[in-house]
Amino acid sequence: MLSSFKKYFKKKGKCLLCDIIDLEKKEGERIIYENHYFIALLPYFAMWPYEIHVYPKGHVQSLPDLSDEEELHLADMLRVITATYNTLFDRDLPYMMVFHQKPTDNKDYGYYHMHIEFYQPYRDKDKLKYAAGIEWGFWVFTYDGVPERKAYELREACRKALRKIGRYLGKTP
């Protein structure tokens, strides 16, 4: 991942995730929720049907780089995304939450952008998504859907979740 970010930065002179955020905001179809400092979306390159990525809107490299206000908005984001998953199929939905941040070796990683990825194993209310041979063998993930449709379903679940959990800091598109 680090080498991909570095390669993109060398080629384009800017951050890969900053460009993805700009593209997603321009297109708007895959955004699930956003607040002042963070955006949650189902990226066009998702491997899982209901995969959600959370990106800081500013170029942040690690959790310790966040201000107190940004930490509050991150907490809001995590609360909303987990509530969205639980609302999606009307039950507590299992998920994995993976933090990606710069290494702690004190080297310069100015090209890197911290982010959080959520994966949950369902492709429908009662259907698990299993990775098959092509996915594990060639690292090409497929599923029977399009990201824009799944993002719409997640946005609708997010709207319902926001009504349930009350006060929040952001908005759904």
Average pLDDT along the chain: 89
- The CATH code of the domain at 2-165 is 3.30.428.10
Q: Would you kindly state where each structural domain of the chain is located, as residue ranges?
A: 2-165
pLDDT digit string, tens, across residues 68-125? 999 999 999 999 999 999 999 998 888 999 999 999 998 999 999 999 999 988 777 7
pLDDT score recorded for residue 73: 96
Q: What is the pTM of this model?
A: 0.90
pLDDT score recorded for residue 23: 96
Give the E-state strand segments of 1-144 in sequence order: 31-34, 38-41, 52-56, 96-100, 115-119, 122-124, 127-128
Reduce the DSSP state of residue 127 to 3 states and report it.
strand
Higher pLDDT, 106 or 41: 41
Across residues 55-71, what is the average pLDDT? Answer: 96
Across residues 158-170, what is the average pLDDT? Answer: 84
Give the E-state strand segments of the chain in sequence order: 31-34, 38-41, 52-56, 96-100, 115-119, 122-124, 127-128
